[in-house]
Amino acid sequence: MELQAPFFTFNPKSYFYGKQLLELAQKADELAEKYPDLSILVTAPYADLANLASHTKHIIVTAQHMDGIGPGRGMGAVLPESIYQAGARAVFLNHAERPLQLGELVQSIKKAQKLDIKTIVCANSLGEARAIALLKPDVLLCEPTELIGTGQTSDEDYIQKTNHAIKEIDPDIFILQAAGISTPEDVYQTLQMGADGTGCTSGITEADFPAKMLEEMIEAVQRIHEERKEK
């Protein structure tokens, strides 16, 4: 499944799992079918990946991490071949809650590329974003660690500087800006400033009606797509 911009990532971390997560993933799947020009990614705990993949058709099921190892020894590690067989077609790497050393990150990106798993690699500063861009991830998530979960989004200056710096190194890298996203308006404004994609955790998981919030955020992405198409 190809990744195309604009895109939206629902990243419930470990807040949702099992039946509740599956129901939201199926809602996202309906929206992905309704808006075929958008890519919608849904992350899941490892134990839920296969369940989501077998009950959806249009979303990109995404793992929260994987290790750059091959089959064999590695007790407790996350085997790339295993998440691929479970149905994951994208993976987050180097998230602030699961950081990697440079050598580990290089190995994980190489394994993902070999298996055709899309990589969403996190960077918490402009300097780190520039360095990671040289590794040619599919997506660079530019998210200052101090803004995660605060409801405060990155300002326009930060978004434009990171967009420019990364595209200058590799114009094929998609840029995901998702710090502090908590409302559909945040989604709209962040994409309007030039990001290829955005996403959300707590704005959806803590909403009174998570499925409704998910739908409204994805509708905001669709608005951006329609505006870009008219230009």
Q: Catalytic residue among 95, 164, 219, 225, which?
A: 95
Q: Catalytic residue among 143, 185, 215, 226, which?
A: 143
**Tokens encoding 3:** 């990744």
Pairing of strands 139-142, 118-123: parallel
List b or e across 98-129, with b for residues whose CB sees 16 or more CB atoms inside 10 angstroms: eebeeeebebbbebbeebebbbbbbbbebeeb
To the query of whether residue 65 is one of the catalytic residues in this protein, the response is: no
Q: What would the DSSP string read from start to end of 100-162?
A: --HHHHHHHHHHHHHHT-EEEEEESSHHHHHHHHTT--SEEEE--GGGTTSSPPPPHHHHHHH
Residues shown for the chain: 231
Within 8 A by CB and 6+ apart from 9, the residues are 40, 41, 42, 43, 62, 120, 176, 178, 197, 198, 199, 200
To the query of whether residue 95 is one of the catalytic residues in this protein, the response is: yes
Burial class (CB in 10 A: 0-12, 13-18, 19+), 162: buried
Which residues are known to be catalytic?
95, 143
